[in-house]
Structure 1
Amino acid sequence: MTAADPTVSGAVNLRDVGGLPAAGGFTRGGVLYRSGSLAQLDATGVAQLERLGLQRIIDLRADDEVAHAPTPGPLASAVQRVPLFLGSVASFFEQDVSLDEMYRMLVDGSAERVVDVVRGIAGSQPVLVHCTVGKDRTGVTVAIALAAAGVDEEAVVADYARTESLLPEWRNRRVVERLASMHPGARHLEDLATRSPAPVMRSLLADVRNRYGSAASYLRDHGLEADELVALRASLIR
């Protein structure tokens, strides 16, 4: 049984990544949270998030995204910035890449930053990882962290896929209409903006496994130390 999601007014796609089956047990509740942007939190939402006792908020957004939608001031002192895309978010819509292609680019082009995120997760908890929607950058980094910690792969896939059910239809419609006006004819626009299909994450994890042996080996090959991997597993799994 997964952990209960916290109630935070104004939060996007916020959830507790606890209760997932793993080698030797389950992921701990109240340790790792994931979400979309925190910019829309009102005073009540800020107070509700503060009650989670977060020690670190890892923000994966680019500078322009942060400038457009800054983290509320009371939370700013806990923020660790790790911008994850090498290019702008808009460039993926302009290039009309698929989700599979974007995730491969992220894993290959931002590996050291993925390690920075995982290092941040292992370094102090409770921790919240977020981007703008909490779907792609957050989805990939959290999935790799969970897989490296020994979480059952299908549970990792299901956690990623769950995002699609948490994005309101009105939000999806508005975003797709705006992006379609900017990028007419783009084939992958709706997938990039609104979808988190299980086969995409399953394919990504299989690709990482085929090329590196495991998600843990991927992290080790890009700089994560053995003791940090031990700390990650100890913090996330009970």
Structure 2
Amino acid sequence: MTSPRWIRLDGAENVRDLGGLPTVDGRRVQPGRLIRSDSLQQLSPADVRLLVDELHVRAVADLRTGVEVAAEGPGPMTAEPAVVVKHLSLFPEAGDTTDAVRADDESAPVVLPWQSRSDDASEDERRRGVAGVYLRYLDDRADSVLATLRLIAGTDGATIVHCAAGKDRTGVVVAFALAEVGVTREAIVADYAASGERIEAILRRLVARRTYANDLTDPDSGTDYDKHRPKAQSMQRWFDAMDEMHGGAPAWLRAHGWTDRDAAALRSRLLD
């Protein structure tokens, strides 16, 4: 297995280049093509220059919801003329910059869309646990999954895919991209779980911000790091569910409008 290619930044904790991951036919993902990350909101000027000038980032797929984007404000990468930033939420959007709840009242805790979702989860979703949550993303926003993969395939440079922590939403979309080009399931699961190595630092950064503090901190017990740590079995169960329900991740993509031309462009972009 290839060790994670961590990228050290001042303003983010969970950033790695997916170059080097192996495919089932013996090829490798090329470095400098696909980077996954937690929030880019606190990038320093030096971070931005590293990403744009040295790592040649030319596109960002921001998977955060409209509520998060509105609460956090414009991030540093949005000011870079060489970089295309696309907001591709995995939750239903109620407007251009909101999901179900607005975040304009700065005196109140931000209510994030997923905080009310457990009440209407199906029995199957509850049974599947974290994998069930991931499947819900696909029911809600197949368009965002395909748009992100097309952004990766069409970008002449590196694409960053990120959400807040860079583990759940990012993990699912990255898994699609890697599975589609033939990266081994073992490598995809290991990459997903690698975010657990940085979970304490990731969450410490998030709980210090109004947007996420209410979601991640229990008034009595504080932040449960292990609860939020991504575990290999969660991604394995997601893959098993995709096989059972859709015939696999690539078959799901094709059932939702992904074409052979899309697939060829993604393979050409990511592989050696």
Identify the match of residue 203 of structure 1 among 226, 237, 244: 237
The equivalent residue for 1:48 is 50
Report the more deviating stretch, 122-131 or 152-161.
122-131
Report the more deviating stretch, 62-71 or 110-119.
62-71
> What is the CA deviation profile of residues 140-184 of structure 1, one whole-angstrom value per residue up to 9, with x for unaligned ones?
000111111100001101111111111235835984984366798
- State how 1:90-105 maps to structure 2 within 5 Å: 90-96=112-118, 98-105=129-136
The equivalent residue for 1:63 is 66
One-letter code aligned to 1:14: V
Distance verdict in 2 for CA 1:165–1:112, change over 3 Å:
same
Q: Secondary structure at the match of 2:160?
A: strand
Q: Secondary structure at the match of 1:22?
A: coil
- State how 1:91-170 maps to structure 2 within 5 Å: 91-96=113-118, 98-124=129-155, 125-168=157-200
- Inter-partner Cα distance in structure 1 for 2:91 and 2:171: 13
User: Would you say how many aligned residue pairs link Structure 1 and Structure 2?
Assistant: 235
- Inter-partner Cα distance in structure 2 for 1:46 and 1:198: 31
TM-score (normalised: structure 1): 0.87
The equivalent residue for 2:258 is 224
Contact residue 212 and residue 218 of structure 1 kept, 8 A: yes
- Inter-partner Cα distance in structure 2 for 1:71 and 1:14: 16
- Inter-partner Cα distance in structure 1 for 2:6 and 2:202: 22
Distance verdict in 2 for CA 1:221–1:101, change over 3 Å:
same
1:34 aligns with 2:36: yes
How much has 1:16 moved relative to structure 2? Answer: 0.3
Q: Secondary structure at the match of 1:26?
A: coil
Q: Secondary structure at the match of 2:230?
A: coil
Report the more deviating stretch, 160-169 or 137-146.
160-169
Task: Give structure 2 stretches of 5+ with no counterpart.
Answer: 93-98, 101-110, 119-125
Q: Give RMSD over aligned pairs.
A: 2.8
How much has 1:201 moved relative to structure 2? Answer: 0.5
- Inter-partner Cα distance in structure 2 for 1:227 and 1:37: 31
Q: Secondary structure at the match of 1:132?
A: coil
The equivalent residue for 2:104 is none
Contact residue 3 and residue 29 of structure 1 kept, 8 A: no
Q: Secondary structure at the match of 2:41?
A: coil
Q: Secondary structure at the match of 1:56?
A: strand
The equivalent residue for 1:234 is 268
Contact residue 200 and residue 225 of structure 2 kept, 8 A: no
How much has 1:40 moved relative to structure 2? Answer: 0.5
Distance verdict in 2 for CA 1:13–1:218, change over 3 Å:
same
How much has 1:95 moved relative to structure 2? Answer: 3.8
One-letter code aligned to 2:196: E
Distance verdict in 2 for CA 1:149–1:181, change over 3 Å:
closer
How much has 1:225 moved relative to structure 2? Answer: 1.3
One-letter code aligned to 2:232: A
How much has 1:119 moved relative to structure 2? Answer: 1.2
Distance verdict in 2 for CA 1:29–1:153, change over 3 Å:
same
Distance verdict in 2 for CA 1:173–1:68, change over 3 Å:
closer
Asked which structure has the greater CA Rg, the reply is: 2
How much has 1:206 moved relative to structure 2? Answer: 1.4
Task: Give structure 1 stretches of 5+ with no counterpart.
Answer: none
1:179 aligns with 2:179: no
